[in-house]
Amino acid sequence: MTTPILIILIGFLIFLGHYLAQLFDRTRIPDVVGLLLVGILLGPVFHLINPAAFGQAGRVFSNVVLVFILFESGLEVRFEQLRSAFRGTLGLTTLNFIMTTLLVAILAQIFGGLDFLSSFILGSILGGTSSAVVTTLARKVDILPQTSTTLVMESALSDVFTLAVPIALISFYTGSSFNVATLFTQILSSLIVAILAGIATGYLWSVLLNRVPTLLKTRFSTPAFVFILYGLVEMMQFSGPIAVLFFSITLGNVALLRPWGLGRFLPQPTEHVELTAMEKDFFAEIVFLLRTFFFVYVGMSIVLDNWQLIALGVGMTVLLFLVRIPVVLATTDLRTPQFDMAFMSVMIPKGLGAAVLATLPSQRGVPSGPAIQTITFAVIMATTVLCTILFFLVEKRRILGFYALFFGRNRPLDAASSAPQQ
């Protein structure tokens, strides 16, 4: 594809993204599906663009999208929401990862012909959720703030598991040492250090914004600092997404630190550390552009080379959505509305992070690496498409009766009906 045609295509995709966003406002059909289909047509169907040509730039682009999305999302989270959602988030993330890993591993051994360790590598790669998809959809539906916070945090926390566990299993498969105690220590330290780094740097940046007025005049100074934070935390082998999320949460709540006794260390007035409405709109537009290209890139990255394994991935996807129901039931508060629980039950899309991890087994010489990659891409596509379809049906209240069979009719129906209980 020549450079002029590529530039024309970029302009076309921007217009398409705006059109699909407006279509969602009118019909509630998520724009994610349309963007993915365009990517599939450009990539695996007509082979107009080869995602491998992007090389390392493709992975850098996906990380930039993730940083912007998590940063923008964290600004809207309040400490009280975080406090009420954190315990449920840990349980939801951990149980969902365990159940997903076990289910995928069993199916991969029975129907995919993978050996025991390769099956668990595949399961652990698919144990998380996509921050880009989850955050995008969670902001477009009327759910409790605690529910939205839980889902956003789950998508970020799951990265800790889906990075540490697969890499450890791959190292063990290829002959390197493996220690369960070391693995759990690595996961815990990655989580704790990332949270502390995010909170500390968020507070530090709020101080700098007050003491260096020129920083407030540049709209990209805060994202630039976020990129530095993400890179440094990742270089230290900890979770960059978690650090970014808690950085933005701290920055968005810095004015509330005064009742805790921390506010006296901030120069006056503390209100200046918060982003203006114009800046938030600016970041929202940047996120819109990035996520438009992101989902097209995911569609281009889908590999369609073994229809038997692709069918297995689709079958896994259906079962994963069914297993998600008892996971949500076991980890949510009794006062959570039925609508929120139904929405949480469909929020298990897999993202580009899983696609990147799926390439590691082949790179490390694991014999079943190609099969792991094909199944992973099939699950990414199937979970994303089915998630958006179920999102539409849940949002329209078409399948709430099905979920009410599992979640009980004694719960409040939605956020409006549960408001008096809070």
How far is the C-alpha of 274 from the C-alpha of 290, rounded, in Å?
Answer: 23
How far is the C-alpha of 216 from the C-alpha of 124, rounded, in Å?
Answer: 42
For residue range 57-77, list pLDDT tens digits in order: 777 777 787 788 778 777 777
Check pLDDT > 60 for residue 420. no
Q: Is pLDDT larger for residue 300 or for residue 418?
A: 300
pTM for this model (two decimals): 0.76
For residue range 102-127, list pLDDT tens digits in order: 999 999 999 999 999 999 999 999 99
Residue type, 186: Q
Check pLDDT > 60 for residue 255. yes
Which tokens hold the place of 366?
């694991």
Domains detected in the chain: 3-409 (1.20.1530.20)
Question: Do residues 77 and 89 make contact, with C-beta atoms less than 8 angstroms apart?
Answer: no
Kindly tell me the number of DSSP H helices and DSSP E strands found in the chain: 19, 0
Backbone CA torsion sign across 55, 132, 20, 374:
positive
Q: Is pLDDT larger for residue 168 or for residue 182?
A: 168
Question: What does the pLDDT average to over 124-131?
Answer: 91
How far is the C-alpha of 391 from the C-alpha of 165, rounded, in Å?
Answer: 29
Chain centroid to CA 102: 21
Q: Is pLDDT larger for residue 86 or for residue 350?
A: 350
pLDDT for res 298: 77
